[in-house]
Amino acid sequence: MNDPLTAVAGLPGVAEAVQDARAAVDRLYGHRVLRRRGPEVSAESALRGARASAALEGADVSLADLRAGAATAPAALGALRASAEVGKLSPTWRIAPRQALARLHSLAALDLTTDPALLGRPRTTDLDPAAEAATALPPAPSPRTAAARLAMLADLVATTTSTTPALVLAAVVHAELMALRPFGTADGLVARAAERLTLVEFGLDPKSLIAVEVGHAESEQAYTKALRDYLEGGPTGVATWIRHCAAAVELGAREATAICEALQRG
């Protein structure tokens, strides 16, 4: 079977960026703290990733508040719930991607919608123009088109071969979900959680140590620009976005290394 992402992985600069990200992950996985305290690093990484994802939605909360359960911002609570679910959803993601996305949305959007019936269900209406303008992204497609493309994305996840780097698939998943905004609420939280889930399930970060969301949040402007490049710039834009995601993985590995060193110092 031909992997449709093979051509994407061969775009200019992508292989080198993927290789650099892989090297950063390998260095992290060699840290001696992980021999005994890997679960602690993963939990802290998930917390920091959730904070960063919420910040990209405009909810800037402190790590202290998240740790203490004192955060009240709906986006922060949703990001935290979705992040905590990544490990549980890993096996489901490859065999039933739409089910996994529905679960992520039901957690991420719990406090962002007044109608529980909408949780985990693709939108059936066009998005509000004012909300669309606030994303700084091109308009999302109609519900019918979004549903069709979401089905294609799910098929891509379910059929991607081992020859495609996990980072490339994760970047495409993230960008496509941002393009489609398939649920109409919490789509950014879902997209970033799905990116992390892909990195875990497809082998780049099986222990969920990489705070890739922190990498994206390092520069919200660069993150949004790279997304726009993907959505509007053809192959060149796709390559730019994947290189951005590779850089976010490197930064996420740096964040996880800092967690390791803090635990080592006690």
Q: What is the pLDDT of residues 68-105, one digit of tens each?
A: 999 999 999 999 999 999 999 998 999 999 999 999 99
Band of the pLDDT at 171, cuts 50, 70, 90? very high
Quote the pLDDT of residue 2: 65
Q: Which two tokens stand for residue 66?
A: 């998240």
Q: What is the pLDDT of residues 23-71, one digit of tens each?
A: 999 999 999 999 999 999 999 999 999 999 999 999 999 999 999 999 9
Amino acid symbol at 208: S
Q: Are 245 and 195 in contact (CB under 8 A)?
A: yes
How long is the chain? Answer: 266
Q: What is the pLDDT of residues 130-143, one digit of tens each?
A: 888 878 899 999 99
In 3D space, the residue among 44, 7, 40 whose CA is nearest the CA of residue 168 turns out to be 7
Domains and their CATH numbers in the chain: 4-265 (1.10.3290.10)
Question: Percentage of the chain surpassing pLDDT 90?
Answer: 90
Least confident piece of the model among 134-143, 191-200, 255-264 = 134-143
Specify the DSSP class assigned to residue 119. T
Q: Average per-residue pLDDT in the chain?
A: 95
Q: CB neighbours of 197 closer than 8 A, spacing ≥ 6? A: 86, 89, 90, 93, 100, 104
Least confident piece of the model among 59-68, 128-137, 144-153, 193-202 = 128-137
Most confident of 2-6, 135-139, 145-149: 145-149
Quote the pLDDT of residue 115: 92
Band of the pLDDT at 207, cuts 50, 70, 90? very high
Quote the pLDDT of residue 132: 84
Cα 44 from Cα 135, distance rounded (Å): 28
